[in-house]
Amino acid sequence: METHGDGLAPWVFSSLGDDVVFEDGVRIFHPENIIIGDSVYIGHDTILKGYYKGQMKLGSGSWIGQQCFIHAAGNVEIGCEVGVGPGVKILTSAHSLGNAPDAIMSSELVFSPVMVGDGSDIGVGAILMPGVVIGKGVQVGAGAVVTSDIEDYAIVAGVPAKVIGSR
């Protein structure tokens, strides 16, 4: 493990590969539920929000830009050689709106995993909503909000994200 800021001891992670870089200001919660492959870069001020249950896997050779927020309560799996642009949000839980009490915050949390296939690229500021599966080699445009599964090698953009091409 290499760090350009304040690091965590490698033994606190479920698994931590070689040549991992944590830039200054990275915040990590529940590292015991986080698996990081080899040669992963995690940019400044990113939050890896592990949870007391669920698991986060970051595949070898992946690059996580600065100021990202990855929430793994419902499980997150990011494949190998994936680029995650600055400011990306990956969410795996939401409050249930069915039979919600007056305060939505008091309603039940629903957990849904997010998976990102090998070789994909998630553009700056994109949001991946709970339960989505991003295929291999997918390009998600900057600022897109992905609310449904995306097939391999698709190019998507917009709010909500729509397929605009393939590679």
pLDDT for the residue 107: 81
Query: What are 141's strand-pairing partners?
Result: none
Residue 109's pLDDT band, with cuts at 50, 70 and 90, is confident
On whether the CB atoms of residues 123 and 141 are closer than 8 A, the answer is: yes
Question: How confident is the model over 57-102, as pLDDT tens digits?
Answer: 999 999 999 999 999 999 999 999 999 999 999 999 988 877 666 7
On whether the CB atoms of residues 24 and 43 are closer than 8 A, the answer is: no
- Is 13 part of a structural domain of the chain? no
| CA nearest neighbour of 86 among 121, 123, 140 | 123
Question: How confident is the model over 28-53, as pLDDT tens digits?
Answer: 999 999 999 999 999 999 999 988 88
Q: Is the pLDDT of residue 9 over 60?
A: no
- Is 139 part of a structural domain of the chain? yes
Cβ neighbours around 153 below 10 Å, total: 16
How far CA 18 is from CA of 10, 59, 91, 125, in Å, comes to: 10, 12, 27, 28
What is the count of structural domains for the chain?
1
CATH code of 149's domain:
2.160.10.10
- Is 153 part of a structural domain of the chain? yes
How far apart, in whole angstroms, are the C-alpha atoms of residue 45 and residue 67?
5
Domain assignment of residue 154, given as a range: 33-97+110-166
pLDDT for the residue 134: 98
- Is 23 part of a structural domain of the chain? no
